[in-house]
Structure 1
Amino acid sequence: MTPEEVLRQARFWGIRIATAESCTGGMVAAALTDIAGSSDVFERGYVTYSNAAKVQMLGVSEATLAAHGAVSEPVAREMAEGALARAGVELAVSITGIAGPGGSEFKPEGRVCFGLARRGEPTRVETVEFGAVGRAKVRKAATAHALALLGAALA
């Protein structure tokens, strides 16, 4: 879904959005705020690249980070729920992953975990393996996927 469609649907339903981004570094927020008038729907974006930022800005548990690592569905869940609670919005998406280059046997380049928190509903999490296609392509694909998650939640 395009950023314009996400904003249009959010306006229709009266829903405000926040983002919590790590490996995309604010690209989802930028895609939404590139559109004039987005401030009536987009509340704020958190760029929490470090673990300390995830803890301080979003309330991610240090125990969760220690047990699962930053690139994990439990962390994506806590990021989305933290953004939802702290921003006072109805919908939040989170992204944490390994854009590359690099990775490991257990967490390969291109693995990205997403969270989608909506007020009054259970938080959804998922992992997408974009593969070792290069940093720029992983970040772009993760941004598009996050917009699609927002769009599906608003449909």
Structure 2
Amino acid sequence: MSSKIVSDVQLDLLAMRVGETLRTSDLRLVTAESCTGGWIAKIITDIPGSSGWFDQGFVAYSNTAKMDSLGVKEATLAEWGAVSAETVAEMTAGALQRSGAGVAVAVSGIAGPDGGTPDKPVGTVYLAWMLEDGLLHTECRHFVGDRVAVRRQTVVAALEGLLDVLALQP
């Protein structure tokens, strides 16, 4: 689904699948969001019954918020930047430590229209998923379109990635 812009209905259906998978896995979700500004938590909590499998969400937009709210190390931000695999990995770990959740998703990226660099152009987004047992997966994606399109594609990728990670559960 993430290779194209999905409709609100498709996004809701994807969130319902995530919710059902979390419910049957007996896991609660925590989100740690930067570029999506809470959109992942919003789409999850749009689903009736989400209180049974959603714990909480963190919106940590600034570097200071990432450090204060999620425990991202200043050295990580200085060396790798906010938009990096290292940062989203620390965001997921911090979200799990600060919540009652068993799985975390984190996103940080450059939604545009400005802020890009030659190394990290607009549309660059890092995502991470971590299970309470320490299983971590990170990836970098490059989305196209305007700010809304980049953010929407990030939400879809985050939810699809959750389904993939949850499929690894016994």
Same fold (TM over 0.5): yes
Q: Distance in 2 between matches of 1:55 and 1:115?
A: 17
The offset of 1:4, in angstroms, is: 0.3
2:156 aligned with 1:113, yes or no?
no
RMSD: 1.0
2:103 aligned with 1:104, yes or no?
no
The offset of 1:119, in angstroms, is: 1.2
Q: Distance in 2 between matches of 1:63 and 1:4?
A: 38
Which residues of structure 1 form unaligned runs of 5+?
Answer: none
Taking only the aligned residue pairs, the percentage that are identical comes to: 44
2:93 aligned with 1:81, yes or no?
yes
**Among 60, 78, 84, which residue is 1:48 paired with?**
60
Aligned position for 1:127: 140
The offset of 1:120, in angstroms, is: 1.1
Aligned position for 1:26: 38
2:69 aligned with 1:57, yes or no?
yes
Kindly indicate whether the alpha-carbon contact (under 8 Å) linking 1:18 and 1:83 is maintained by their aligned counterparts in 2.
yes
The aligned length equals 154
Q: Distance in 2 between matches of 1:4 and 1:40?
A: 12
Look up the SS of the partner of 2:98 in the other structure: helix
- The one-letter amino acid of 1:16's match is R
| TM-score where L is the length of structure 2 | 0.88
Aligned position for 1:68: 80
Kindly indicate whether the alpha-carbon contact (under 8 Å) linking 1:54 and 1:60 is maintained by their aligned counterparts in 2.
yes
Q: Structure 1, residues 37-83: CA drift from partner, whole Å, max 9, x if none?
A: 10110000000000010000000000000001100010010001111
Look up the SS of the partner of 1:95 in the other structure: strand
Q: Distance in 1 between matches of 2:165 and 2:85?
A: 18
Aligned position for 2:28: 16
Moved over 4 A (4+): none
Look up the SS of the partner of 1:70 in the other structure: coil
Which residues of structure 2 form unaligned runs of 5+?
Answer: 1-12
Q: Distance in 1 between matches of 2:83 and 2:76?
A: 11
Q: Distance in 2 between matches of 1:72 and 1:13?
A: 29
Aligned position for 2:4: none
